[in-house]
A = this chain, B = another copy of it.
């Protein structure tokens, strides 16, 4: 392994996204292409809620072990984005508008008792990765956001066209995300380019992004397996009424 230049490292990171980001997953193609049933969209939103709900814990876990006030301040904006500044604001509340618009009871969604075990295990793996690995790896694992603005654009237009039970209002979450993701991923990318200064550290950064792609991919695998024919809903998980 040789030391990559900062630009070579960035190119390798972008190549991981081009090969392993979850926009390539068959379930996402179905979802964006208007090919999902309402029950499948409900299952996706219900499961993805757990990811949304855990993100601030993940980000606080990073701040909790970061000795640089400038990085902590920068990262704190993610808490604001997700938790808002008052009840009913922020990304998690907006996600509950989406699940509510899909006809899911908010108490049921918040309880997370209907999510797939595969979702829970994948999300928890991410939270713990950020808490336990090096700060550099924790920052690098957020870099899937480099690839999210494009997917969100596709998703909103595809879902509005494809589903009569989805409205622009219920998709409010996604309108807010692209500028936040661009700001956050810009910071994180500059951080890893500046701080991954040995071949080992660069390999750890690349592996962290692959790990995070695996988390997102495994979440869709679990959905695909449970809710796309032939369906295999595991014991105890959400069963759509259809």
Interface residues of A (CB under 8 A from B): 19-20, 26, 116-118, 120-122, 124-125, 128, 210, 213-215, 217-218, 221-222, 224-226, 232, 234-236
- A224 in contact with B234 given A125-B121, A125-B124 (CB within 8 Å): no
What is the bound-complex CA distance between A156 and B234, given in angstroms?
A: 26
Q: List 7 A-B pairs, minimum CB-CB distance, nearest first.
A: A117-B214, A121-B121, A225-B225, A121-B125, A117-B218, A20-B235, A121-B122
Closest to A26 in B: B232
Name the prevailing secondary structure of the A interface residues.
helix
What is the bound-complex CA distance between A215 and B221, given in angstroms?
A: 16
- A118 in contact with B221 given A124-B125, A125-B124 (CB within 8 Å): yes
Distance from A18 Cβ to chain B, minimum over Cβ atoms (Å): 11
Distance from A160 Cβ to chain B, minimum over Cβ atoms (Å): 28
Interface CB pairs A-B, < 8 A, 16:
A19-B235, A20-B235, A117-B214, A118-B218, A118-B222, A121-B121, A125-B125, A128-B128, A210-B236, A213-B235, A214-B236, A217-B234, A217-B235, A218-B222, A221-B222, A221-B225
Residues of chain B with a CB closer than 8 A to A124's CB: 121, 125, 128
Closest to A117 in B: B214
By CB atoms of chain B within 10 A, which of A117, A124, A217, A235 has the most?
A117
